[in-house]
Amino acid sequence: MQAGLRYGAPFAVGVALLAAWQAAVTALDVPVYLVPSPLTVLATLHRDWALLSRSLAFTLVVTLAALALAVLIGVATAFLFVQSRIVEASFFPYAVLLQVTPIVAIAPLIIIWVKDTRIALVLCAGIVALFPIVSNTTLGLRSVDPGLLELFRLYGAGRWQTLVRLRVPSALPYFFAGLRVSAGLALIGAVVAEFVAGTGGSVSGLAYQILLSGLQLNIPRLFAALFLIAATGIVLSLATALAARIALRRWHASEQEPQ
Amino acid sequence: MTAIALAAAEKVFANGVRALDPLTLRIDEGAFATVVGPSGCGKSTLLRLAAGLTAPSSGTVRLWPDASAGAARRLAFVFQSATLMAWADVEKNVRLPLDLEDAAMRDPAADARVRRALALVGLEDFRHAYPAELSGGMQMRVSIARALVTEPALLLMDEPFGALDEITRTRLDRELAELWARERLTVLFVTHSIFEAVFLSTRVIVMSPRPGRVVGDLAVDEPHPRTEAFRVSTRFAAYCERVSTLLASAMEDAGVTQ
C-alpha cells in the first residue's frame, strides 16, 4: 500500500467523523454538559492546558515506567522459563493467575501496602502489562529453527552463545508483538489504578481529571482528558510499531512489503 | 587413508523404529561418496552418525581412525534446507562457525576466510544481503559457503539441492563437483536422485528401504571435472541403469511395489 494512502485514509476518516459530530451537536443544539462539540473540546484543551499537560505528564510517566518494569521482569522471567521446562511448568500457571485477576480487585490492596501512590500505580499498571511480554517472549525463545540449533551444537556453541546468537534474535518478532499489546495494557492499567486510587489528593493523572470533571459536571474538560488518553494510546502503539519496524525491517516477513 | 569408518554401527530410535541395520562402511579420504536410497531408508541417519549429531545404538563410528592423535580435522554439515539466520546478512551467516569456535580470541584471518568462502560460491557481491532477499539457490550457496569457511576436510551433505528446481540444481551440482576437485575435500553426500549421484560421485552406495542396508556399492571411474557431455553420454546412462537396477531389486526384496 502506498504511504500516502496508509496514513491519509485513517486521517480522512477521523476528520469526517469529527465534522459529523460537530454538525450533529450544532444542528440538534445539544447542551455542552451532555456532549460538547469537538471545537469546544479543543478550546477547553487550550484553556486548561496548564492543568491537563501536568496530568498528561503524570499518566505518561506512570505508563512508561510500568511498561519498562513489565519488559524487565517479563523478559527475565521468559529467560528463566526457557532454561528448564520444569521451571516453566511450575511458575507459568501463576503468571496466568496474575493475568486473569482483575486489576481493580487488587489495586486497593497495593495502594494500601505501598506508601508512595506513584509507585503503587506503576506496580498496578506493570502487573497488567506483564503477561503478554512473558508469554510471547517465552514462545519466541523456544521458536528456534531446529536445524540452526543442530548447527550450533555441531560447532560446539555453549548455552550462552546459543542464547545470545540464536534464541534472542529468534524471539525478537514475538517480543515486539507482545510489547505492542503490553504498551496499550500499561496505559489501561495506569488509568484504572488511578481511578481506584481516586481522590487521594496527591495524584493528578488524567484519570483523576476525568473523575473530578465528572463530579463537577465539567464535561468539556472530561472530554479533553479522554482525548489525551486516546492520543497517548495511539502514540504508544505507533512508537512500538516503529520500534518493531526498525528492528525487523530487513529480515522478518511481518515487516516486509508484499512484492 | 580412511576418512570415515563405521563398524557394525546400528541405530534404533527411542520409539523402537529401526533406522539403520548394523552397517560396516569405510569411506576413503578424498572420495566423493554418495548414498542413494528411497525416503526413510536411513541415509540421513547415516550422515548424522558421521557428524556426531546422534550416537549409534551399538557399534562404532570413527573419523580418520588411522590418523595420529591431535591431527584434528574439521567437518562441516550442509542441511536439506539452507538453515540460515534470517536476522543476519550473508557475511555474518558465513562467519558464524568462526565466531562460535573461538569467541574469545578473534581470528585475525577470519575476514579473509569469509571472503574466500564467499568467492568460492560466487557471492562476493551479496555479502550484505539478507537471506530473505535471496533466491533459494543463492541461500543454498550461502549455506555451502558457511560450511566451507572453516576449511573442513570432510563435508557432509544431506540432500542439499533437493528443494531446488532442476536448472539450479544442475548448476550447483557442477559447481560442487569443481569445488570438490579443487579443494581436495572428502564429501559424503546423500540424495534420492540417481542422476545427481552418478554425475557427482567417485563412489555410489545404494541403500535398501528401512531398516537401511547397503545393497550396492559401485565406483564411478570417470575423470573430473565432469562436464555436460558426460551427462548425456552412454556411459552416464549405463551407470544410472546399474544404480537403478540395484535400487529396484532392493525395493522388490523389501516388498515395496514401485
Residue A256 lies in a domain: no
pLDDT of residue B258: 47
Contacts of B99 in chain A (CB under 8 A): 165
Assign residue A140 the CATH number of its domain.
Answer: 1.10.3720.10
ipTM (interface pTM): 0.86
Contacts of B81 in chain A (CB under 8 A): 147
- For the ranges A199-213, A228-242, B51-65, B162-176, the lowest mean pLDDT is seen at A199-213
Q: Looking at residues B192-200, what average pLDDT do you find?
A: 92
pLDDT of residue A201: 58
pLDDT of residue A127: 94
Contact A252 B85 (CB under 8 A): no
Rounded alpha-carbon distances, angstroms, from residue A235 to A60, A68, A183, A243, A249: 11, 16, 10, 12, 20
State residue B251 phi and psi, 5-degree precision. -65, -40
- Listed in sequence order, the residues at least 6 apart from A120 whose beta carbon sits closer than 8 Å to its beta carbon are A107, A110, A111, A113, A114, A193, A197
- For the ranges A20-34, A49-63, B221-235, the lowest mean pLDDT is seen at B221-235
Q: Work out the minimum CA distance from A250 to partner chain B, whole angstroms.
A: 7
- For the ranges A169-178, B146-155, B169-178, the lowest mean pLDDT is seen at B169-178
pLDDT in tens, A157-168: 888 899 999 999
Interface residue of A166, A250, A252, A254 to substitute, partner B, most B CBs within 10 Å = A250
Rounded alpha-carbon distances, angstroms, from residue A215 to A49, A87, B49: 20, 49, 76
What's the pLDDT band for A95 if we cut at 50, 70, 90?
confident
Class of residue A10 by CB neighbours under 10 A (exposed 0-12, middle 13-18, buried 19+): exposed
Q: A182: domain range?
A: 55-250
Residue A30 lies in a domain: no
Q: Looking at residues B107-123, what average pLDDT do you find?
A: 86
What's the pLDDT band for A192 if we cut at 50, 70, 90?
very high
B130 at interface of A, judged by CB pairs closer than 8 A = yes
Q: How many domains does chain A have?
A: 1
Contact A161 B101 (CB under 8 A): no
Copy the grid coordinates of residue A204. Answer: 493528578
Contact A256 B103 (CB under 8 A): no
Residue A88 lies in a domain: yes
- For the ranges A88-97, A99-108, A248-257, B208-217, the lowest mean pLDDT is seen at A248-257
Residue A39 lies in a domain: no
**Is B125 a residue whose pLDDT tops 60?**
yes
pLDDT in tens, A7-54: 889 899 999 999 999 999 999 999 988 999 999 999 999 999 999 999
Q: Work out the minimum CA distance from A80 to partner chain B, whole angstroms.
A: 23
Touching B: A residues 62-81, CB under 8 Å: none
Q: Work out the minimum CA distance from B243 to partner chain A, whole angstroms.
A: 30
